[in-house]
Amino acid sequence: MPSLKSLLGFNQDEEEIPFGMSWIVEILQHVIPTRTYVENFLKWGASHIIGIDSNENMIELCKSKFEGDSKLEFHVHSAIDMPYNEEFDLATSLFALQFMENFNELEKTLTNIQKALKPGGEFLAFVPHGRPDIHFTDEAGKKFGAYLKPASHPPPDGSRVKIIFYDKEEIIGDADATFFYVETYERLLRKAGFSKIEWIEPYIEPKFIAKYGEEFFQCIKDPPRDLLLYAIKG
């Protein structure tokens, strides 16, 4: 059986998907869930999914997209002050933690996520690769839809940056974000009560390499520009 992490687009271990999990939470926070992710979570055995976002318009959009499914709920909450207490087996954050404005907000968010999980609950998050020597380029934005633009190199830990969004080669918008180092995520995760923290590199399926070639993906590799964070409560 493939691992949960491999099905999310990453590889490496043999851990099985937790079929029959009683609860699963999709932490949205600035990110609209794609139909693929939500449908996959249901397919893998989630009995209930709760999605949150601080933006009321996004929540209404999610409700309209998935109307009529009793296993899904969407609520207006910020991850900084969400009210859940030991309710979920799994929490996910899809490119959202970098939108915390500072170390304090990130710490509050990770603490709330830990509080929302049952003992032994799992946390998965996609985040930009926080290391000072990494270079993000507009080539990646044009190919994959977005890239992180720091104000200076190397970007200091906790520095404010811009996320530039593209439609093909045209810039269509931007958003303020924060560049957190990997060490900061680990320190605050442990402080919040997480253990077994892992960083997992992206896995590009052979069919995409065959279609586009190795060189096409070089702008997001070596080192990878994004990582999957995996941590367990307790």
- Report the distance separating Cα 78 and Cα 199, nearest Å: 25
In a domain, residue 162? The reply is: no
In a domain, residue 72? The reply is: yes
pLDDT mean across residues, the chain:
82
Q: Would you say 176 and 159 are in contact if contact means Cβ atoms under 8 Å apart?
A: no
- On the question of pLDDT at 37 being above 90, the answer is no
What residues does 52 pair with on adjacent strands?
A: 27, 75
Q: Where are the alpha helices (DSSP H) in the chain?
A: 4-7, 35-43, 56-65, 103-116, 138-144, 182-192, 206-212
Mean pLDDT of 186-202: 95
Domain containing 19: what range? 4-130+180-233
- Report the distance separating Cα 78 and Cα 161, nearest Å: 21
Give the total number of structural domains in the chain.
1
Kindly report the CA angle at 212 between 208 and 214, in degrees rounded to 5?
90
pLDDT digits (tens, 9 = 90+) for 110-137: 999 999 999 999 999 999 999 999 888 8
pLDDT at 31: 35
Task: Tell me which residue of 124, 169, 125, 126 sits closest to 144, measured CA to CA.
Answer: 169
pLDDT at 8: 42
In a domain, residue 97? The reply is: yes
In a domain, residue 201? The reply is: yes
In a domain, residue 144? The reply is: no
pLDDT at 229: 95
In a domain, residue 107? The reply is: yes
Q: Is the pTM of this model over 0.85?
A: no
What's the Rg (C-alpha) of the chain? 17
Mean pLDDT of 42-50: 82
pLDDT at 35: 57
In a domain, residue 150? The reply is: no
In a domain, residue 198? The reply is: yes
**CB-side neighbour CA atoms (13 Å) of 209:** 7
**What CATH number did the domain enclosing 105 receive?**
3.40.50.150
- On the question of pLDDT at 49 being above 50, the answer is yes
pLDDT at 36: 62
